[in-house]
Amino acid sequence: MSAASTADIDTLIDRRVFFGHQSVGANILDGVRDLLHEAGRDWPIVELGADSPTGGALIHAKVGINQQPLTKCDDFRRIVDERLRGEVDIAVLKFCYIDVEPSTDYAMLCDRYRATLEELAAGHPNTVFVAATVPLGHAKRGFDVLAREMLGRANQAKLKNLARHAFNERLRQSWTRSPLFDLARAEASAPDGARDTFTYRGTTSENLVGEYTDDGGHLNTVGRRAVAAAFLQTLAAARRK
């Protein structure tokens, strides 16, 4: 547990945050619980609809349908407009890695995602809306992988990450309203600070660090702590604005 993470928690302890997510988001929340426990701090993490404390809390909900990311934008908008109007200081909407595939029109999706948050920000001036990059998958390495690629077989894991990376790069270049929760960058940053990347068909992409996942997509106990620390850091920066 770093002193920086403890300071971030202390900055957030009286804030009300809403986090719209799916399964990787649940991993991140588990990581936040880990860090709260180690810091000896109490910041309630409650599901939307449950009894919520009147003070600071991290409120969360599964929004929309996986592989239908625009439903997540619509659901998030409805919750903020109708159920949480004026009740949260910070709001974050996160897509899942399976929401962006090689066939996805990533530019359209990124622009719709950004527009959703910008429009909500205009209608809720007392809430800071934080954008998030799309999570990555882990593309394996090794001689057998290289051999298949040399035979001309498409590497689907790499193609999927290239699509996610294209979405993320567009978001990084266009999001300027508030801090960006760069989830993908956290997933691609090893504990020693090295960045995991690959180049495939002439394009470079970030890659989910193998140490952070057991199934190639979701975060294990090591990965969830690393990404949760980045999540708290971003929220704390949003709190200070």
Q: Model confidence over 114-133: pLDDT tens digits?
A: 999 999 999 999 999 999 99
Query: 15 near 56, Cβ under 8 Å?
Result: yes
Q: Which residues are within 8 A (CB) of 237 and not within 5 positions of it... i.e. 6 or more apart?
A: 179
Q: Which residue has the higher pLDDT, 177 or 218?
A: 218
Band of the pLDDT at 105, cuts 50, 70, 90? very high
3-class secondary structure per residue, the chain: CCHHHHHHHHHHCCCEEEEEECHHHHHHHHHHHHHHHHHCCCCCEEECCCCCCCCCEEEEEECCECCEHHHHHHHHHHHHHHHCCCCCCEEEECCCHHHCCCCCCHHHHHHHHHHHHHHHHHHCCCCEEEEECCCCCCCCCCHHHHHHHHCCCCCHHHHHHHHHHHHHHHHHHHCCCCCEECHHHHHCECCCCCECEEEECCEEEECCCHHHCCCCCCCCHHHHHHHHHHHHHHHHHHHCC
User: So what's the pLDDT on residue 33?
Assistant: 97
| pLDDT higher than threshold 80 for residue 53 | no
Band of the pLDDT at 57, cuts 50, 70, 90? very high
User: So what's the pLDDT on residue 140?
Assistant: 87
Band of the pLDDT at 146, cuts 50, 70, 90? confident
Q: Give me the percent of the chain exceeding a pLDDT of 90.
A: 85
Q: Model confidence over 215-232: pLDDT tens digits?
A: 999 999 999 999 999 999
Q: Model confidence over 147-169: pLDDT tens digits?
A: 677 777 778 899 999 999 999 99
